[in-house]
Chain A
Amino acid sequence: MSEVLVVVEHTAGEVKKVSLELLAMAAGLGTPAAVVAGAGADAAVATLAAHGAATVYVCSEAAVANHVVVPMVDLLAQLVKDKSPAAVLIPSSVDGKEIAGRLAIAVESGVITDAVAVAADGTATQNVFGGATIVQAKVTHGTPIITVRPNSIAPVESAAAGTRVDVALTISDAARATTVTNRVSVEKSGRPDLSEASIVVSGGRGVGSDEGFASVIEPLADALGAAVGASRAATDAGWYPHQFQVGQTGKTVSPQLYVANGISGAIQHRAGMQTSKTVVVVNKDAEAPIFDLADFGVVGDLHTVLPELTKIIKG
């Protein structure tokens, strides 16, 4: 069976869940082979082997992180040419989509973004137009390059050889055209990562203030072990950081449970959460379009319903 390359996203060797999901998906298409680069790549090998990677291509060049996207593209282009994989699977993140786009040009292949499933014959399923339409698409030229959304498939623990193959990379002139001079992190909350969380508790304009997020939304999220999300109305008002915006211009989430509070359900918000498996809504306006997506909804004031709900859940 041909190899399927999986691009690994990690922080100092700590592998992001989405990459493990992609290994599980790759197993349906061929032999999973992980590609991991940058400082800490070594530390990722064992985890990748434990999740089905028959081969782990390791590029320990720490400078890959110093330039926007291009080093990873150069590395993958080299591997695609040398190994002729059946496909390349890449997480659908900001970097992931741009890597996919440039790689497609470099190796003259078709590219599909934001797949939620990939069949054995390479046919990808995408939810387009904010999830309203389901499309089946296939790369018809070159090596299929497919970016896959987080939470599309469950990671599988399956011990594989995880044979380490070191790959050398020279940082190209094209890569050196940009230099990352500083990295600024918003405070880590200790909550699950928004795009990977299995439960998301979101707040919108109805939350009313940053204080409302701290006293009503976050406690419920913590009681459920959930990530916190926000509508654009809430991030624009400065009540919650932009990183947590769900929707067309924020994150696309597909959790098991999405709890929408004080959110009307504008088409741009739905675009980011429409594929959630179960949706619970609290909104005081019975006519709010978000109720159309609700599996369970309460017409009421979130400022009374949510604290009470948090109390019940905490027992």
Chain B
Amino acid sequence: MNICVCVKQVPDSWAEKKLSASDSTLDRAAAERVINELDEYAIEEALRIVEAQGGEVTILSMGPAEAVDSVRKAISMGANSGIHIVDDALHGSDAIATSLVLAKALEGRGFDLILFGSESTDARMSVVPAMVAARLNLPQMTFASKVEVAGESLTIHRTTDYGYDEVTSSLPAVVSVVEKINEPRYPSFKNIMAAKKAPIDTLSLSDIGVDAGSVGLATAWSQVSSFADRPAKPAGTVVQDEGNGAAKIAEFLTAQKFV
């Protein structure tokens, strides 16, 4: 089983995020950069599959030079190698460009499974996996809370509003996983040391055959025209319960016409 996991470096989701005043893109310097937490579940799932069935796990990330830290973090969890797409022309790319770059980087490498997190905690679009599936013309097996590979066939539980759907496809396939699927492991000390020397292929746009003119902020098919902080909410009323807390809430709800 030859598995690729797509991993994005994002600002720490525990930190307050900001847009950059100059070009309305994410201000990546404003918060500590970490691996998108939801991608850790995809890495964990990939490791479990190769532990059970044999094979290799490759990490693929598109992002600025520092994103290599997230590739190494993923390798320290147990992946074998990494591919890092870096190019100044990529700054400000939207999901459409990101999916193009990832698809081009994946093409022809013979992966049986391409795993994603269900969303990036910064963009929160949940569209990149579906877009990559469309571009590579592979089965879209997304929002999986369970993944089963048996020979050439794949079965997932796709999370829905009402519960889940059981969905099947052949391999190769594109899979995204939700956070209920597993509990990601911590890297062992041995793997952290090994990850420092692990092979990471650093590629530019021309290396993967993508025209620099088709990605980046200037060519994005949607543009941010303005942004502002949500106006601070006026402080509400907070009271200590002295046996009358319920009555106070009831009063408030009645005044606001909820009851």
Which A residues form the contact surface with B (CB < 8 A)?
68-70, 73, 93-95, 97-98, 100-102, 104-106, 108-114, 123, 127-129, 131-142, 174, 177-186, 193, 195, 199, 224, 242-243, 248-249, 256-257, 267-268, 274, 278-282, 286, 291-301, 304-306, 308-309, 311-313
* Contact A69-B130, Cβ < 8 Å, known A105-B135, A140-B222: yes
B210 to chain A, nearest CB (A): 15
Establish whether residues A186 and B162, one from each chain, have CB atoms under 8 Å apart when the complex forms.
yes
A residues near B229, Cβ cutoff 8 Å? 132-134
List, in ascending order, chain A residues with CB within 8 A of B236's CB.
279, 291, 293-297
Min C-beta distance of B69 to chain A, whole Å? 22
Q: A178-B140, A178-B167, A183-B165 are in contact. Are A135 and B248 (CB under 8 A)?
A: no
Contact B237 A296 (CB under 8 A): yes
Which residues of the other chain, B, contact A293 by a CB distance below 8 angstroms? 233, 236
How far in angstroms is the closest Cβ of chain A from B101? 13
Give 10 new A-B contacts, CB below 8 A, not counting A136-B227, A139-B222: A97-B130, A102-B140, A113-B127, A132-B229, A182-B165, A184-B165, A242-B180, A278-B256, A295-B233, A298-B240
Which of under 10, 10 to 19, 20 to 34, or 35 or more describes the interface residues of B? Answer: 35 or more
A73 contacts across to B, CB distance below 8 A: 134
Which residue from chain A places its CB closest to the CB of B141 in the assembled complex? Answer: A178
A194 vs chain B, min Cβ distance (A)? 9
Say whether B168 contacts A181, CB under 8 Å.
Answer: yes
Question: Which chain B residues in 5-60 approach chain A with CB under 8 Å?
Answer: 13-14, 16-19, 24, 38
**Which residue of B131, B137, B163, B233 is within 8 Å of A243 (Cβ)?**
B163
Interface pair A127/B225, CB less than 8 Å apart: no
A69 lies within 8 A of B258 (CB): no
A280 and B227 contact, Cβ closer than 8 Å, known pairs A179-B167, A296-B236: no
Residues on the A chain within 8 Å of B179, using CB = 249
Q: How far is the CB of A103 from chain B (nearest CB, A)?
A: 9
Residue pairs across A and B with Cβ atoms less than 8 A apart, 27 shown, are A101-B99, A104-B96, A109-B221, A110-B222, A113-B126, A114-B125, A128-B19, A129-B17, A132-B229, A135-B224, A136-B224, A136-B225, A136-B227, A177-B169, A177-B173, A178-B141, A182-B166, A224-B259, A248-B124, A256-B258, A279-B236, A280-B249, A295-B236, A295-B237, A296-B236, A297-B237, A298-B241
Nearest chain A residue, comparing its CB with the CB of B139: A177
Q: Is B186 positioned at the interface, with any CB of A under 8 Å from its CB? A: no
Instruction: Check: B84 CB closer than 8 A to any chain A CB.
Output: no
Q: What's the least CB distance linking A100 to chain B, in Å?
A: 7
The digit string for B140-161, where 1 denotes a CB below 8 A from any CB of A, is 1111010000000001011111
Residues B176-226 near A (CB distance < 8 A): 178-180, 220-226
Using Cβ atoms and an 8 Å threshold, which residues of chain B touch A134?
Answer: 227-230
Distance between A248 CB and nearest chain B CB, rounded to angstroms: 7
Taking a contact as CB atoms under 8 Å apart, the answer to whether A70 and B221 are in contact is: no
B138 and A177 within 8 A (CB): yes
Cα-based distance from A132 to B17 in the complex (angstroms):
8
Contact partner of A101 among B125, B155, B220, B222, CB < 8 A? B125
A312, B247: Cβ atoms closer than 8 Å? yes
Q: Considering the chains assembled together, what is the distance between the CA atoms of A267 and B143 in angstroms? A: 22
- Cα A113 to Cα B123 in complex, Å, equals 10
B222 contacts across to A, CB distance below 8 A:
110-112, 137-141
A70 with B140: CB separation less than 8 A = yes
State whether A313 and B167 are in contact (beta carbons under 8 Å apart), knowing that A68-B142, A137-B222 are contacts in the complex.
no
Residues of chain B contacted by A133 (CB below 8 angstroms): 17-19, 227-230
B-chain residues with CB within 8 Å of residue A128 when the two chains form the complex: 19, 124, 227
The smallest beta-carbon distance between A50 and chain B, in angstroms, is 24
CB distance from B221 to the nearest CB of A (A): 3
CB distance from A205 to the nearest CB of B (A): 17
Of A102, A178, A312, the contact of B169 (CB 8 Å cutoff): A178
> A94 touches which one: B14, B131, B160, B241 (CB < 8 A)?
B160
CA distance A180 to B141 in the complex (A): 10
CA distance A139 to B162 in the complex (A): 32
User: Are the CB atoms of A68 and B167 closer together than 8 Å?
Assistant: yes
Question: Per a CB cutoff under 8 Å, which of A101, A123, A313 touches B259?
Answer: A313
- Contact partner of A181 (CB less than 8 A), chosen from B122, B167, B238, B246, is B167
Enumerate chain B residues within 8 angstroms of A291, measured Cβ to Cβ. 236, 238
B245 lies within 8 A of A298 (CB): yes
CB-defined contacts of B138 to chain A, threshold 8 Å = 177
Q: Across the two chains, which residue of chain B brings its CB closest to A245?
A: B180
Q: Of the candidates B95, B122, B168, B239, which one forms a contact with A111 in the assembled complex, judged by CB atoms under 8 Å apart?
A: B95
With known contacts A248-B121, A298-B238, A94–B126 Cβ distance under 8 A: yes
In this assembly, does B253 line the interface, its C-beta being within 8 Å of a C-beta of chain A?
Answer: yes
How far is A297 from B139 in the complex, measured between Cα atoms in Å? 48
Within 8 Å by CB of A312, from B141, B142, B246, lies: B246
**Are B220 and A110 touching (Cβ within 8 A)?**
yes
A178, A185, A279 interface centre (most CB from chain B within 10 Å): A178
Given contacts A140-B222, A177-B139, contact A299 B241 (CB under 8 A): yes
A105 to B64, CA, bound (A): 24
